[in-house]
Amino acid sequence: MKPPHILLIVGGGIAAYKACELIRLIRKAGMTVRCVLTEGGAQFITPMTLAALSENEVFTTLWDLKNETEMGHIQLSREADLIVVCPATADLLAKMAAGISDSLATTVLLATDTPVLAVPAMNVRMWQHAATQRNVARLRDDGVTVIDPDDGAMACGEFGPGRLPEPVAIMERIEAALARPSGLREGQGLPLYGKRVLITAGPTHEPIDPVRYIANRSSGKQGFAIAAAAAALGADVHLIAGPVHLPTPPGVTRIDVETAREMAAAVDAALPADIAILVAAVADWRTADAADQKIKKTGGALPVLQLAENPDILAGLAHDARRPALLVGFAAETENVVEHAQAKLARKGCDWIVANDVSGDVMGGADNAVHIVTAQGVESWSNLPKDQVARKLMEKIADVVR
């Protein structure tokens, strides 16, 4: 059988150099690759580099294709089993979403029905801009697989989501895309395909002044593991994360928030959803009036914090007209775990409560022992790693919403 052939479109960004490593990995996996280098991409790496690594001619403009009968732009995509856009700049994503064809790269992308995998890399603000997020959502709707960028330090000196994932991780997504039966989108055929899942995770931070805050202890690990497990079952996952230092699981749309009120607003904006799993350890109170300047130690009277109650996101969602068909809450308890969870189920108006005993070292730890409390009864699971708890929970959910 012919080895898979990749058409790699290299956009104009500093991450273009990582495309060189990706070519090496593609070839190491026994595949062939041909490159299209955009004008912007050619400002960062040369056609010669790509030609040497791919051992194939490199195309940069529509006018390179002197002989349309020999290698036309249609032929370029037709010979490929997968088109990979890496790095996919904000500009390329915008043009792809709008169907603009003003260059060889964009013309190839418009004139094809070959599956496309886009690997964005850009400045954090460009990635988070509403226009880029809108373009990404539209591309995903159109059937393009858009990988979420990594979080971390960026070449521009800023920090946040926007980094190109490591070439090894991109390679895994290429292999997954090639393994999908043709015509199927990412996740299609999986039990939660087409289901929109909303997940909250991590703590919230409620500012006292610019340097101090009130928070619950929460690493976000269990919520992030649930997001990863839901995405692996094909769901369209929207993860609303409080301040945690965890990488975004593959295929998950992440919205970072700081406070309970921001989390409530992000949940509201992400509705409607088929399933909501609220794992976040939301702070019950915030300061009624956070100080604009750092509160100084005066040596005299201690500062008095006036508290205000935060919105209960779970209870609010239970009574919302857009209530998801399955609403799952979490309960961290230190005693009488199941009894408290049953009371909480009734009080909050959700369908299930996943209760865990946090009297041990669950917080920030790798394992969790949970009880699934529903109107039908209680199911207790033994102590398991958090990613296994996540997988079991999502499989149980997939069984009931199918």
Contacting positions for ligand C5P (CB under 6 A): 200, 260, 278-280, 282, 310, 312-314, 329-331
Closest distance of CB 226 from ligand C5P, Å: 12
Distance CA 341, CA 299 (A): 44
Contact present, 283 and 204 (Cβ < 8 Å) = yes
Preceding peptide of 161 cis, ω within 30°: no
Contact present, 112 and 105 (Cβ < 8 Å) = no
Q: Rounded to the nearest 5°, which phi and psi values hold at 376?
A: -80, -20
Which CB atom, from 139 or from 257, has the smaller least distance to ligand C5P? 257
Closest distance of CB 56 from ligand C5P, Å: 52
Which CB atom, from 164 or from 277, has the smaller least distance to ligand C5P? 277
Closest distance of CB 260 from ligand C5P, Å: 6
Strands of 130-228, DSSP E: 145-146, 150-153, 159-163, 196-201, 205-209, 212-215
Which CB atom, from 228 or from 282, has the smaller least distance to ligand C5P? 282
Closest distance of CB 384 from ligand C5P, Å: 19
Contact present, 79 and 39 (Cβ < 8 Å) = no
Q: Is 156 a catalytic site residue?
A: yes
Q: Which of 20, 35, 86, 156 is catalytic?
A: 156
Closest distance of CB 281 from ligand C5P, Å: 7
Which CB atom, from 54 or from 200, has the smaller least distance to ligand C5P? 200
| CA dihedral (315, 320, 322, 325) positive or negative | positive
Distance CA 81, CA 268 (A): 40
Closest distance of CB 317 from ligand C5P, Å: 7
Run of H or E including 118 = strand 116-120
Which CB atom, from 7 or from 313, has the smaller least distance to ligand C5P? 313
Which CB atom, from 198 or from 331, has the smaller least distance to ligand C5P? 331
Instruction: Write out the two tokens for 335.
Output: 């005693």
Which class for 70: exposed (0-12), middle (13-18), buried (19 or more C-beta within 10 A)? Answer: exposed
Contact present, 327 and 367 (Cβ < 8 Å) = no
Q: Rounded to the nearest 5°, which phi and psi values hold at 101?
A: -130, 80
Instruction: Write out the two tokens for 343.
Output: 């009371």
> Would you name the residues annotated as active-site residues?
156
